[in-house]
Structure 1
């Protein structure tokens, strides 16, 4: 049977259906804390601009918008899920850095006026700089610091080949007067023992604040919680030390920068740097400022609420200390240790006996030796002391010749001469 012929006009196989285009992907909502915050903050700003009754955006309005956006983002990001220890730490530090973003502690508004209540800490003009500052119409520390900041901005924009762009602000100096329990105690502080700082130095610290260019506070919190890079840790400590030396007003109880510095330096380190600059502040004062700042700024009133912050501070301070002051490595020597030699002559392991032993009882500190004797009933009679045998002087000991001479040295007997041979039978 032959196969059927193949015709050319056979029906073609049906073509596969055209693939349907993939559905358009819906935008995924941002999952990063900073992204959620930014979206909410910009929405509030846009709503403010669209409102015809709104006036000019003020610093107070900006702070309110940041706080509202933060609390909404915190509820979305942390509110409805179980938090690990790491999340709890990040949540606490994120709140700190968003408060820094809202309050901008590097602005001149946080420099207290010179005529503030006497018991509060403040800056004062150094007595040797009053005349120079007056020549430039600067009469208060706040005015001098603000002028130094403006001059620093102008010097960056000026040509680099010009000299003396810093103006007189390196020579205008101020001193920091710490707050005390009373105005009388503040008045008694010896101003001559406090190390003065130039207003240009204070302005530089404010312009290079570690959070000055921060735009993502949650990312900053992650950096502080998990940073292990030695260079970054050293930069953190350098900033904290510069604040203590040149901008101590950032450590007042109403300045949120106090908590940032306490993440890096311990209370004793802060007090030590203050003391080196002639500023006497007790450790209890720093603790009081810290508690007051946490209560007023962060709303942390109990130890449990402050615990995540304290845990991060302890861990970060340890890493900073290890990075800046590493422990010296022990040196290992391949040379063999010299054999230990005794300073006294070698002594035998067993006491000498026989001829070389001393008189009996010579080594005994007690002339009588107690022996433990048990009676028939098994009870010990410890009241019986048997005296040791009397010791004899070494010189009185007599030595007798042996009664039996050595048979090998006897002169008589068979074999002792050729005349009397030995009987070998």
Structure 2
């Protein structure tokens, strides 16, 4: 048993959180006079879409199980207690290999198993159109194939929990319904679908939009178009990348206003996230540059992004710094809300009976930066900034 004394992230009130057997056993209010010296306690972050971190990549083959476990442990220093490693468009054999490696890592290491809430399969059932396809390789894009998906799910040990697809393909609704019936969240992304196809996808059970506003054509009709249509669908939750580069602040503001509690943050971070600014060579985009401002772009053209290099803490800070969201709401966009969509126990946040997945923060700085002090997973201290465990 342990007791954590801190200020509640949403109320600011000082509390004592008792942890027993990996869960929150009790939450007591403390005298307000103690609050100034205490850190902030907040639910652990849940990243629905992450490709890699600190130079390690879930899509760099052959993927070693040890690499998977290293990424999950390194994510603790970013406050991420649950994540969905993202496997992107590739050949059927390559996708199966990556999924199998993630499954092997979970089977071999309890900490990795705890940290991976599921796998996000982003593609290959996406649009072949330039722009909408993003950086996904054209030769590997294919229409939805249920038998193939089942083989991948077997390789993953049943861990695929999110699949991003474009409902522009014939018979997409049938495929979506089969995924939903098997317990998989279907997300619309990298799409050129029209309004009726999106409507059919939602009626079949699609419930999420993958990095809405990105992975899109450079030019769209004013209306209708697939961005407006996804925003207008009441049953779709919208994921956004709030790194300050992928979407203008005006777009972020509109998504948050329209979607409310259904607005979510993802990092969609690539392996270069967590590294120092500089020039890097990647297996997908070739030579890329990470600037001191945090932007990742192609070396050949600074106007073209090469993925996201920032984590959820950065996105939360950006929303707060720009006045787009208050801190409690911004934090919940990256913690409680994604957990709620995915029906994770962590959706209970800091309440009694919830998993003891939380972080301790210093006071948010005037520049919006969020200094992370400690990360707890299932009640165990897994990261401490003071000693870098």
TM-score by length of 2: 0.26
Of the two structures, which has the highest relative contact order with CA contacts closer than 8 Å and spacing of 6 or more? Answer: 2
- The structure richer in strand per residue is 2
**Larger-Rg structure:** 1
How does the TM-score come out when normalised to structure 1?
0.24
- Relative to its length, the structure with more helix (as a share) is 1
